Amino acid sequence: MSNRNLGVVFASSEAAPFAKTGGLGDVAGSLPAALKDAGCNVVVMLPKYGSIPQHYVDRMEHIADFYVPLGWRQEYCGLEKLTERGVDYIFIDNERYFKRDQLYSYFDDGERFAFFSKAVVESLQHIDFQCDILHCNDWQTALAPVFLREFYMDMPLYQNVKTVFTIHNIAFQGQYGDKVLSDVCGLAHIPNAARQLYCGPQTVNFMKGALCYSDRITTVSPTYAREIQMPFYGEHMDGILRERSSVLSGILNGIDMVTWDPRTDQSIAADYTAADLSGKKECKAALQREMGFEVRDDVPLMGMVTRLTKQKGMDLVQYALDAVLSRGIQVVVLGTGDTCYEDSLRYFDWKYPNMAARITFDSDLSRRIYAGCDLFLMPSLFEPCGLSQMIAMRYGTLPIVRETGGLKDSVQPYNRFTGEGTGFSFANFNGDEMTGVILAAADVFWNNSNDWKKLQIHAMTRDFSWRRSAEEYSGLYHGLHPEV
Ligand code: ADP
Give this prediction's pTM. 0.94
Distance 305 CA to ligand 1 centre (A): 6
**pLDDT grade, residue 2 (50/70/90)?**
low
How would you write 127-153 as a 3-class SS string? CCCCCCEEEEECHHHCHHHHHHHHHHC
Distance 314 CA to ligand 1 centre (A): 14
* Cα dihedral 271/272/278/280 (nearest 10): 70
CA pair distance 156, 161, nearest whole angstrom: 10
Q: What is the CATH number of domain 7-254+467-480?
A: 3.40.50.2000
For ligand 1, whether the C-beta of 462 sits within 6 Å is: no
- Residue of the nearest CA to atom 13 in ligand 1? 388
CA pair distance 13, 137, nearest whole angstrom: 8
For ligand 1, whether the C-beta of 313 sits within 6 Å is: no
- Residue of the nearest CA to atom 19 in ligand 1? 306
CA end-to-end span of the chain: 5
CA pair distance 131, 158, nearest whole angstrom: 8
CA pair distance 46, 144, nearest whole angstrom: 13
pLDDT tens track for 338-349: 999 999 999 999
Partners of 205 in the beta sheet? 175
Q: What are the phi and psi torsion angles at 320 (to 5°)? A: -90, -15
Tell me which H or E stretch contains 61.
strand 61-70
For ligand 1, whether the C-beta of 69 sits within 6 Å is: no
pLDDT tens track for 48-100: 999 999 999 999 999 999 999 999 999 999 999 999 999 999 999 999 999 99
Domain boundaries, the chain: 7-254+467-480, 278-463
- Residue 455 pLDDT: 98
Topology of domain 278-463 in CATH is Rossmann fold (3.40.50)
Tell me if 7-254+467-480 shares its fold with 278-463: yes
Instruction: For CA atoms 122, 128, 134, 138, give the dihedral sign.
Output: negative
For ligand 1, whether the C-beta of 200 sits within 6 Å is: no
For ligand 1, whether the C-beta of 23 sits within 6 Å is: yes
For ligand 1, whether the C-beta of 266 sits within 6 Å is: no
Q: Which long-range contacts (CB under 8 A, 24 or more apart) does 78-82 make?
A: 78/48, 79/123, 79/126, 79/127, 80/48, 82/56
pLDDT over 60 at 1, yes or no:
no
Residues in the chain: 484
pLDDT tens track for 404-435: 999 999 999 999 999 999 999 999 999 999 99
* Alpha helix positions (H), 168-221: 179-183, 191-197, 206-213
